[in-house]
Structure 1
């Protein structure tokens, strides 16, 4: 995750920090959850995947192990240095241009679609449409419907704790989010702006980029499969 609009960062943990405030070491410690299985169940076996905002390869590596061919994109060289087994491209998502290349699957995970900058949000979705094959799909991970009001909340990982400490309204559609990452030997905090979609505004944003929702992949509504519209 390395494309969110940054509002601030602090911490006592080791390692470099990306321009948007992501601690590389935190993402190296965080193991993949159910995401690789969700992705694999929604796309053809052996598909080519363009992973946007790949970070350190948290999803890249298990997808490669499942037989997918992955092109991994991130703007942070510190993140990309940890990606193995995939072609890597250093670029912001919204500015990505891979010529005539098209992919069976374009993956926009890590809630990047909620970027606090409207131009960046729109640019990300256009990049998805620009690089998906005509018969391909775009997989998008989005926030739960109540995530800006159900705070504080926390989840435990294998080695630490992730706490969404607050979500302060900035305007009618945007919140300033404070997340705390705690481990036995390190602690990081990150602040960023997150846009709150309704179902209607989410579908409208996709439509503006030439995409349409095909199906919701998970019971909590956080994973969506979209298809290109001519």
Structure 2
């Protein structure tokens, strides 16, 4: 079976890039996109929250403003340098063990849709390892059918940014290699990555293998999920 690892991810444009092809400068510009409203509606505010893959703090800041006690984790030191007001941990998610548990653990940005099944398992086991008894894990996954609706040339706007699909190439069973272009008025970046269009049964099976079970789908498109040990 072919494994599509992050070694095949890349990015182009100015500035520093993370190992998986994310532009630090571009991610520092990204606005929050409604994710924290979903989180706040799903769990009581004021609890401890472990944000896995925090990036440059796009969600960290609004989560702090909503009253969560956030600890932000990312493998990019340059990304974490953009975050103020929350303790940060510079480390890969997979294999992380902070020796403590949190009321809420978040795994956003479609990280669960990695095309590397072993990598997905390690991410989810980190979630399970850090959630407190009675707590929950909130996961953002690609909506069902996304790969069937996205096409090269698809374009949408988000604040001052225009996002375009440059290419989308099927490379394996339910696996695609996608190139996305992000245009701002003064500059642009691209990011190329592999992703797996996880069916709901396969997603739930991956959760079960990590010791987690679905407690509820939080959005109509089933892109946000609350799971518990």
Q: Same fold judged by TM-score > 0.5?
A: yes
- 1:29 has 2:29 as partner: yes
Alignment of 1:74-113 (within 5 A): 74-99=74-99, 101-113=100-112
Deviation (angstroms), 1:185: 1.4
Q: Say which SS state the counterpart of residue 226 (structure 1) adopts.
A: strand
> Number of residue pairs matched?
223
Q: Deviations over 1:137-166 (max 9, x none)?
A: 000000011211212333212112112333
- 5 Å-filtered alignment, 1:144-163, equals 144-152=143-151, 153-163=154-164
Change (3 A) 1:107 1:10: closer
Structure 1 spans left out of the alignment, 5+ residues: none
CA distance in 2, matches of 1:67, 1:79: 22
Q: Structure 2-normalised TM-score?
A: 0.93
Q: Distance in 2 between matches of 1:119 and 1:126?
A: 11
Q: Secondary structure at the match of 2:172?
A: coil
Q: Contact 1:180–1:187 at 8 Å: present in 2 too?
A: yes
Query: For the residues of structure 2 that align with 1:119 and 1:186, how far apart are their CA atoms?
Result: 36
What's the Cα RMSD here? 1.3
Change (3 A) 1:8 1:212: closer
Deviations 1:66-87 (A, max 9, x none): 1100010000000000111111
Unpaired runs of 5+ in structure 2? none
- 1:15 aligned partner: 15
Bigger mean CA deviation after superposition, 144-153 or 118-127:
144-153
Distance 2:196 2:142 in 1: 10
Contact 2:10 2:192 in 1 (8 A): yes
Q: Cα deviations across residues 23-69 of structure 1 (Å, max 9, x unaligned)?
A: 01111111001111111110112011000000000000100011100
SS at match of 1:185: coil
Deviates further, 194-203 or 143-152: 143-152
